[in-house]
Chains A and B, each alone.
Chain A
Amino acid sequence: MTKIKNAALHMFKVLWQPFLAIFLGLIVGAIVILIVGHNPITVYITMFQKSFFTLHYLLQSLTRSVPILVCSLAIVASWRAGYINLGVEGQMTVGSFVGTLVAVYMPGPTFVVIIAAVLCGMMAGAAYSLFAAFIYDKFNVSIVISTLMMNYIATYITTYFITFSLRDTSSVYAIQTKEIAMAMRLPRILPGKPFNLGFFIAIALVILLMFVVSKTKFGYESKMTGLNPVFAQYGGVKKTRVMYSTMALSGAIAACAGMLEIFGIKFRFVESMFTSTGYAWTGLMAALISGLHPIGAGFTSIFLAGMQVGGQNIQLSTGIPVQVATLIQSSIILFVSVQLFANWRKKSKLKAAADSKKAGDE
């Protein structure tokens, strides 16, 4: 019983700060909505009605949350260890591109093909991310810059392939690959709704990552590296190995995010599908708001996905650009980051990370 109580108390401690930041972020959004020339209160009411409080939109939000949630896990995995992976978008592009190709072109029984596609996709995502780790290790090339550059490279190179050799020529306009077979798609939960098994796979990934970061040696080592690399090394943590495995894990998770979207919703790889939707960046914001906590990132992702869905519906009905949602979300992070109420969260991982970084800086 006390265990449950402690857990609840812990949840509250983790969560109340983001909630306050969310409130302040909504105020910033309200000001912008006023400038655009609408009543913020009615806009917000419509926004939340059309994201969480009707079954149709709730399912839409939950469906949308799948890639965002998994991307946020990819961020959590790498940033916790202090490796600033900004390349989730590129890793999910490359990973899901390879996964889709295997699913479309590999002959054999469906079950075998699915397993092969998922494994190849995850390996491709991990390999793409490992390249950044490799050039950091060998040539000291900043992971921040290399992973960001690789986002653009991934988008352009995959677009090149699907524009020419791998294009589905049945459509004249759309630049996309062929569809994956019916039997390989993730089953839908309710008839007629795109909501599918992918959501539950995403939840399973949250629990899995939570287990990895809190119960395994690898999770402990990567957390120590993130908090204080020098101390971790002194304590016998092999920094290089932790970096490679962390980046590989992050890339593989990112690939899963892309594949869940393709196997669950789109059924094919479409030109710059992850660049235009910005899933990776919304996932990044979710991870930062939750202070790099897997479960917190899960809830925040669902919330942000709902805001995106609500924002799109507002754009349809009032013409307010959907980017209002992004604006609110990024100001929420700024409010979280300044820690105006630092006294209450001295033990926060984010602050510790910032301090250790500062210590290294000076």
Chain B
Amino acid sequence: MDINYVLSVVNSALRSTTPILLAALASAICTRSGVFNVALEGQMLIGSFVGIAVNWVTHSPTLAVLAAIVAGGLVGALVGILQVRYNAADMVVGTSVNLLVGALTAILLFVVFGVKGGFKDPALVPLPKVKLPVISEIPYLSTLFNNLSPLDYLSYVIAIVMYIYLFKTVKGYHLLSVGVKREAAESMGISAVKTRIAAVIASGCLCGYGGVALSMGQVTLFAENMTAGRGFIGMAACNLGKNNPIAIIFASLFFGFSDAFAATTQNTIPSQLTQSVPYIATILALIVFSRKRKKKATKTEESKAEAVS
């Protein structure tokens, strides 16, 4: 097999990883603070749409990314307030917010662009590509790192920063303590409600970023429900990475590869089959890697795992 072909698959995998990685990090920060957030999908989708809409109006990718992050954060705030402040059931809020955003983006697509289904236009400005100084001269490495946007590189930085924040700073420790034992944290003067809402808003921002990385990454377009379960795949990646940002990078890369595999093999295998590969891979990965945890878990932890996982 041609080495350059393999490298281009890896390259495609790196680009598919970004949205999943961001969703997984969003899931991790919520789970760590003790909130089960199922609305990741909706938080991503609003980012995808707002990114394209702002891009269309301002022709500035930077503004588009920032607006997407804010939009994701706003949806996150809605989820956080409902779930944390009003104690609404997490699954109920999550699923209905996902449906709400799906409908809202479809309506806004019609209001802003006057189209239904999807929007694509040559006037949309794609994200600039990063040209690495030395590596782009080396033959094989240049294929590997070809066409990656700043968003792709930044996502790994975010994962590392989140790791440092959670495990090496006092603020991060407070967040973890709220997730582990709410009463104990509150007796230390930490507001569980505020911490949790902040965590959900942060997850919204991360998802908005992931969403815009999807709609302005490999392609520059918006289609209804274009996230296609990536929020949930992110939850799976978070699950595999056991809520640890560094481990999550590797879990997300696995799902990025299954995405890239589906995209590159669709000329040889019928695309109807390859499209299902990322979803099958998600279930298989969860089966293979979570086997040991079930054995370790005691009975009391079992119900906890049920609520969190």
A residues contacting B by CB (< 8 A) are 32, 35-36, 79, 84, 86, 135, 138-142, 144-146, 148-153, 156-157, 159-160, 163-164, 229-230, 281, 284-285, 288, 319-321, 323-327, 329-331, 333-334, 336-340, 350, 353-355, 357-358, 360-362
Contacts and interface: CB of A to CB of B under 8 A. Distances in A.
The contact size tier of chain B is 35 or more
B286 A145 contact: yes
Contacts, number: 173
Contacts of A350: 89, 92
Contacts of A354: 87-89, 92
B27 to A, nearest CB: 11
Contact of A35 (B89, B111, B233, B276): B111
Q: Which of A164, A330, A360 has the most CB of B within 10 A?
A: A330
A156 B275 contact: yes
A362 B84 CA distance: 13
A55 to B, nearest CB: 29
Contacts of A159: 272
B276 A152 contact: yes
Given A323-B107, A330-B99, A146 B283 contact: yes
Interface stretch (B133-141, B145-153, B214-222, B291-299): B291-299
Contact of B273 (A84, A157, A340, A358): A157
User: Chain A binding site: helix, strand, loop or mixed by DSSP?
Assistant: helix
Contacts of A151: 229
Contact of A337 (B93, B228, B233, B270): B93
A353 B89 contact: yes
Interface stretch (B11-19, B46-54, B165-173, B301-309): B301-309
Given A140-B309, A323-B103, A360-B304, A86 B95 contact: yes
Contact of A148 (B232, B276, B287, B303): B232
Q: Which of A321, A340, A358 has the most CB of B within 10 A?
A: A321
B125 to A, nearest CB: 26
A354 B273 CA distance: 39
A334 B272 contact: no
Interface in B101-120: 102-104, 106-107, 109-111, 116
7 contacts: A138-B294, A139-B291, A159-B272, A284-B95, A338-B82, A350-B92, A357-B90
A3 B110 CA distance: 52
Contacts of A135: 283, 286-287
B213 interface: no
Nearest to A90: B279
A361 B100 contact: no
Given A36-B111, A150-B279, A361-B36, A334 B293 contact: no
Interface in B227-269: 228-229, 232-233, 235-236, 239
B89 A285 contact: no
